[in-house]
């Protein structure tokens, strides 16, 4: 988690609100544009919504609209399973532990933020 956190420009707990397939002009391939609502921001810009991109490759998460994830967002707003991003069931013990660890990292950096309600 430490490497994923330090390598990311943003880290957030999000809910997916939509996806679309589009062309990737830099790679001459297709990619998925993922729109999300921020539940809790741990690193980076504090915004309520945003978007990221995911390629169609082995490290793809295969995101689902309505599901919740921890996104480790890298340069060019890319996410991947290999870069630490993952679906999270935030009501489980494992999910609660992941969120607690991220909150501790955030507090240690002096960037305390509050969680936003998600509908």
**Domain boundary assignment for the chain:** 2-108
Q: How far apart are CA 69 and CA 86, in angstroms?
A: 5
Is the pLDDT reported for residue 45 higher than 50? yes
| Mean model confidence pLDDT for the chain | 88
What confidence category does residue 86 fall into, taking pLDDT thresholds of 50, 70 and 90?
Answer: very high
CATH number of 2-108: 2.40.50.120
What confidence category does residue 28 fall into, taking pLDDT thresholds of 50, 70 and 90?
Answer: confident
Mean pLDDT of 12-25: 94
Q: How far apart are CA 14 and CA 66, in angstroms?
A: 10
**C-beta contacts of 58-63 below 8 A and 24+ residues apart:** 58/82, 59/83, 60/32, 61/85, 61/86, 61/87, 63/16, 63/19, 63/32, 63/34, 63/87
First to last CA, the chain: 28
């Amino acid at each position: 988690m430490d490497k994923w956190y330090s390598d990311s420009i943003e880290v957030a707990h999000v809910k997916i609100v939509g996806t679309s397939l589009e062309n990737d002009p830099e790679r001459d391939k297709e990619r998925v544009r993922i729109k999300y609502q921020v539940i809790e921001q741990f690193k980076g810009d504090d915004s309520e919504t945003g978007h990221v991109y995911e390629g169609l490759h082995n490290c793809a998460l295969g995101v689902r609209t309505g599901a919740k994830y921890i996104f480790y967002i890298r340069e060019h707003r890319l996410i991947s399973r290999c870069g630490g991003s993952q679906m999270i069931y935030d009501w489980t013990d494992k999910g609660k532990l992941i969120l607690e660890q991220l909150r501790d990292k955030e507090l240690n950096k002096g960037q305390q933020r509050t969680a936003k309600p998600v509908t």
